[in-house]
């Protein structure tokens, strides 16, 4: 049984936390759970991951993870080896840990409605082992009021304890981004929306000493839930704006990056304008889903919100737009896609990661596979199993074989291996008049053209 943190004085919690005498249970050991658990363990905490998937638990206990995040494997291996990190399917271990962080998934249903079944199941399982003094922190992205109206009643009902009286409860949104998750977890301030002031203070002490980050305390859990959704709606909308500007600039024969970089120097309010970058599409678990949470929230309030639906719709047009660009470029070279040899470089949805979850590259791959072209696919970051979720074609192991005799190179993820590969060597391997479609705008157009390619980016 843990010593209990909730209900103690700040000084007592401070001592427990600084001395790392409290254990942390992380419920839901997927992407966010594994990153959070591994980072906390690396900072000296005893961490136990709890997941319903036996395969995940077995993998962690062998010191491995398939979560595609740079440096995570090493962190998991080291901390499992020294005994600070372990995993189990047994929720009974909750009793031994003062802090319980819940990071289970919240997928979308067929009508883009949020599904909180895993949140409910996790609340039931945690509630069965809850004691006085526990601090429970929900980190999954959820529609506003889920902590108070779904999570809390189940915890209280199954435990017979009261939140804010017997145990602490807070919602702290996870705002890190794939690819830089480990750095961001220990640098981005954490928003705390708690059911009472004592829960909020205990949380802030954990984040200050546990991760070395500041906290922003808001009124209540639902406000914190809304913060996360506001962040992601802003990002998705801003990318949609960049994507539409890219289409306009392309039509006018301008370089959208010049437009955006110059536009972003204008001060507005306390910051400069900050238009994000266009690309061949938006992927991943959060941006493709969270705007729909807000859309549904609007519906529940009788509001017809245009913004989240519009940004999702605009960003979802980008894979087909990219495929259209390829067809046009090939036609300009007197070639047809069905008789061309196409080398697709990068299928992860983000540069320098192997993350293929909800990747927009899948739609471009599908269109290419159906086109009858001769297709090779290469991504040095993506594991063979994950690649199968995107393409039927086995990955070509090396870039040289992938691009040989290609009529077009289609870069859908701007991995550093592609940028570091000498353009002159690339030009030697491909066919004459080879098209270079830069789906992430990660190359210098002048350098690519100088190497002899027909270059095109998104909006440039």
Ligand X SMILES: NC(=O)c1ccc[n+]([C@@H]2O[C@H](COP(=O)([O-])OP(=O)(O)OC[C@H]3O[C@@H](n4cnc5c(N)ncnc54)[C@H](O)[C@@H]3O)[C@@H](O)[C@H]2O)c1
Active site residues: 228, 286
* Residue number with the smallest Cβ distance to ligand X: 30
Q: Closest distance between ligand X and the C-beta of residue 176, in Å?
A: 6
Of 284-313, which residues contact ligand X (CB under 6 A)?
Answer: 285-286
Give me the 201-230 binding string for ligand X, x by CB under 6 A, dash otherwise.
------------------------------
Question: Minimum CB separation from ligand X for residue 185, in Å?
Answer: 10
- Give CA torsion, residues 299, 146, 235, 283, to 10 deg: -90
Residue 106 in contact with ligand X, rule: CB under 6 A: yes
Closer of 167 and 285 to ligand X (Cβ):
285
Least distance CB 217 / ligand X (angstroms)? 20
Residue 151 as a binder of ligand X (CB under 6 A): the answer is no
Does 147 contact ligand X by CB under 6 A?
Answer: no
Q: Least distance to ligand X from the beta carbon of 171, Å?
A: 11
Shortest distance in whole angstroms from residue 47 CB to ligand X = 15
Which residues between 11 and 70 bind ligand X (CB under 6 A)? 27-33, 50-53, 56
CA atoms of 201 and 37, how far apart (whole Å): 21
Cα 377 to Cα 47, 343, 359, 424, 429, distances in angstroms: 39, 6, 15, 21, 16
Nearest residue (CB) to ligand X, 179 versus 457: 179
- How buried is 281 (Cβ within 10 angstroms: 0-12 exposed, 13-18 middle, 19+ buried)? buried
Residue closer to ligand X by CB (options 28, 457) is 28
Binding residues for ligand X, rule CB under 6 A, total 27
Contact residue for ligand X among 16, 39, 60, 122 (CB under 6 A):
122
Q: Which is nearer to ligand X, 103 or 322 (CB)?
A: 103
Residues 178-197 touching ligand X, rule: CB under 6 A, are: 178
For the chain, how many helices (H) and strands (E)? 20, 15
151-177 b/e (C-beta count within 10 Å ≥ 16 → b)? bbebbbebbebebbebbbbbbbbbbbe
List 140, 311, 340, 353, residue binding ligand X (CB under 6 A): 140
Q: For 112, which DSSP code?
A: S
Of 21 and 357, nearer to ligand X (C-beta) is 357
Which residue's CB is nearer to ligand X, number 125 or number 154?
Answer: 125
Contact 218, 224 (CB under 8 A): yes
Smallest gap, in angstroms, from Cβ of residue 120 to ligand X? 8
Burial readout 392-406 (b: 16 or more C-beta within 10 A, e: otherwise): eeebbeebeebbeeb
The H or E element that residue 267 is part of is strand 267-268
Partners of 101 in beta bridges: 26, 137
Residue 344, both tokens:
């697709």
- Closest approach of Cβ 458 to ligand X, in Å? 23
Specify the residue, 121 or 263, whose C-beta has the smaller distance to ligand X. Answer: 121
Q: How far apart, in whole angstroms, are the C-alpha atoms of residue 455 and residue 460?
A: 9
Cα 434 off chain centre by: 34
Is residue 262 classed exposed, middle or buried when 0-12, 13-18 and 19+ CB atoms within 10 A define those classes?
exposed
Q: Which of 350, 337, 314 is nearest to 439 (CA)?
A: 350
Query: Where on the chain is the footprint of ligand X (CB under 6 A)?
Result: 27-33, 50-53, 56, 103-106, 118, 121-122, 125, 140-141, 174, 176, 178, 285-286
């Amino acid at each position: 049984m843990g010593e209990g943190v909730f209900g103690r004085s700040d000084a007592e919690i401070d001592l427990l936390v600084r001395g790392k005498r409290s254990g942390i249970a992380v419920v839901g050991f997927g992407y966010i759970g594994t990153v959070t658990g591994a980072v906390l363990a690396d900072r000296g905490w005893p961490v136990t991951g709890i997941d319903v998937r036996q395969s995940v638990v077995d993998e962690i206990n062998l010191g491995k993870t398939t979560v595609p995040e740079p440096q995570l494997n090493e962190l998991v291996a080291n901390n499992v080896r020294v005994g600070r990190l372990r995993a189990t399917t047994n929720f009974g271990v909750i009793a031994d840990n003062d802090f319980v962080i819940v990071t289970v998934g919240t997928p979308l249903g067929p009508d883009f409605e949020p599904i909180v079944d895993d949140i409910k199941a996790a609340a039931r399982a945690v509630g069965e082992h809850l004691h006085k003094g526990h601090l429970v922190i929900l980190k999954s992205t959820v529609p506003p009021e889920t902590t108070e109206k779904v999570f809390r009643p189940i915890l209280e009902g199954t435990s017979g304890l009261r939140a804010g009286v017997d145990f602490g409860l807070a919602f702290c949104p996870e705002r890190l981004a794939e690819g830089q998750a480990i750095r961001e977890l220990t640098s981005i301030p954490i928003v705390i929306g708690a059911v009472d002031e004592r829960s909020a203070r205990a949380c802030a002490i954990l984040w200050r000493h546990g991760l070395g980050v500041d906290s922003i305390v808001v009124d209540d859990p639902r406000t914190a839930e809304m913060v996360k959704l506001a962040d992601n709606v802003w990002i998705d909308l801003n990318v949609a704006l960049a994507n539409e500007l890219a289409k306009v600039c392309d039509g006018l024969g301008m370089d959208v990056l010049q437009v955006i970089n110059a536009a972003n120097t204008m001060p507005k309010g306390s910051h400069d304008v900050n238009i994000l970058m266009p690309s061949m599409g938006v992927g991943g678990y959060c941006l493709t889903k969270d705007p729909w949470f807000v859309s549904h929230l609007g519906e529940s309030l009788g509001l017809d919100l245009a913004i989240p639906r519009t940004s999702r719709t605009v960003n979802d047009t980008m894979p087909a737009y990219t495929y259209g660009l390829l067809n046009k470029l090939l036609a300009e070279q007197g070639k047809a896609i069905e008789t061309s040899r196409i080398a697709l470089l990068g299928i992860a949805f983000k540069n320098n990661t192997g993350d293929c979850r909800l990747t927009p590259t899948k739609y471009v791959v599908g269109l290419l596979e159906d086109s009858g072209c001769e297709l090779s696919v290469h991504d040095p970051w993506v594991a063979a199993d994950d690649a199968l979720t995107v393409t039927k074609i086995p990955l070509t192991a090396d870039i040289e074989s992938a691009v040989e005799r290609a009529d077009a190179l289609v870069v859908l993820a701007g991995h550093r291996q592609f940028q570091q590969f000498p353009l002159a060597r690339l030009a030697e391997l491909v066919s004459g008049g080879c098209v270079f479609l830069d789906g992430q705008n990660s190359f210098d157009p002048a350098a690519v053209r100088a190497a002899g390619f027909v270059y095109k980016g998104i909006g440039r």
